[in-house]
């Protein structure tokens, strides 16, 4: 039983780090394209937002394994994809609350245009990471 938990915990940690990386790269790229399309010199704003996002979201990463453990016991009939989507949304809201404390923006409405690309990238990463198993045909 302990071995199964350790293997599941390791797998969850690896997927969480991949999700963290993909959501931060994807969100930053999304912002970079958005900012640079209007004015090329604004690329640095997107890069700074990406750095801040990576730091804030990295602080939340250690909460993911306990979240999955709790959700597995509480909602055992949910798929891993559903739990991951719920987790991404919950942690996105938590990260936004942390950002409101750290940066001089007065409301969540002012923050969402900068943070929604990261949630979108995280959702896409979850759909890819927890997608249906891909079958590979073996030719004999």
Radius of gyration, CA atoms only, the chain: 17
Distance CA 105, CA 135 (A): 47
How many other CB atoms are found less than 10 A from the CB of residue 117?
24
SS3 40: helix
CA atoms 13, 16, 21, 24: torsion sign: negative
pLDDT at 133: 63
pTM of the model: 0.80
Q: Tell whether the model's pLDDT for residue 98 goes beyond 60.
A: yes
Q: Looking at residues 64-80, what average pLDDT do you find?
A: 76
Q: Looking at residues 17-34, what average pLDDT do you find?
A: 92
The CA distances from residue 56 to 37, 47, 98, 100, in Å, are 26, 14, 7, 11
**Lowest model confidence (mean pLDDT) among 4-13, 79-88, 124-133:** 4-13
Distance CA 19, CA 128 (A): 10
Q: Tell whether the model's pLDDT for residue 9 goes beyond 70.
A: no
pLDDT band at 140 (very low <50, low <70, confident <90, very high): very low
Domain ranges for the chain, please list them.
2-129
């Amino acid at each position: 039983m302990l071995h199964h938990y350790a293997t599941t915990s390791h797998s969850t940690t690896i997927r969480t780090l991949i999700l963290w990386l993909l959501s931060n790269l994807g969100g930053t790229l999304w912002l970079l394209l958005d900012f640079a399309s209007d004015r090329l010199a604004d690329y640095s704003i997107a890069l700074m937002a990406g750095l801040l996002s990576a730091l804030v979201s990295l602080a939340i990463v250690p909460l993911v394994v306990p979240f999955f453990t709790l959700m597995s016991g509480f909602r055992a009939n949910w798929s891993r994809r559903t739990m991951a989507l719920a987790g991404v949304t919950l942690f996105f809201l938590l990260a936004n609350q942390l950002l409101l404390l750290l940066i001089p923006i007065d409301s969540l409405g002012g923050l969402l245009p900068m943070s929604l690309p990261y949630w979108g990238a995280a959702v896409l990463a979850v759909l890819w990471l927890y997608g249906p198993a891909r079958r590979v045909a073996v030719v004999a």
